[in-house]
Structure formats: C-alpha cells, structure tokens
Amino acid sequence: MAYIAVPLDDGTLPPNWPAGFNRDDLVEGPIGVIDTVLNDYGLPHGAPAGLFVRRNALARHIGAPRA
C-alpha cells in the first residue's frame, strides 16, 4: 500500500514525492530518493547522518514510524 504525501507548509505536495512510494521503498529503496524528499520538506538530509537515521526521519515526518 502506497503512503500518502504530507503536504508542504504551503499546502502543495512535495515535488519529488515518488509515485507509489511504499514501505519497501522507505526501508530498502535508494537513499537518494529519501534525501530528495527530506530536502523537499526542508529537513536535514544526507551525510553525516546514517541511512537508518535518514529513513527514520522521513518515516516520522509522514507518520509512518519504522519498527
């Protein structure tokens, strides 16, 4: 099941939200996609934060915390 994008502060959707983005993409997809979406939301992204930290940051932001 695909996640629904959380709107940006201006009410628009993140421009780089991937179509069909789901839990598998969040957990195992390319980290570049995660970083791009974090950037859209104005959240810290990229190194030095590790992959797990960045994926969790996006999960928390969209209301889908990882177990």
Taking only the tens place, the pLDDT of each residue in 10-66 is 999 999 999 999 999 999 999 999 999 999 999 999 999 999 999 999 999 999 876
Please give the average per-residue pLDDT across 3-12, as a whole number. 96
**In one letter, which amino acid is 39?**
N
pTM across the whole model: 0.91
Per-residue pLDDT at 66: 63
Per-residue pLDDT at 65: 73
User: CA end-to-end span of the chain, whole Å?
Assistant: 17
CA distance 44 to 42: 7
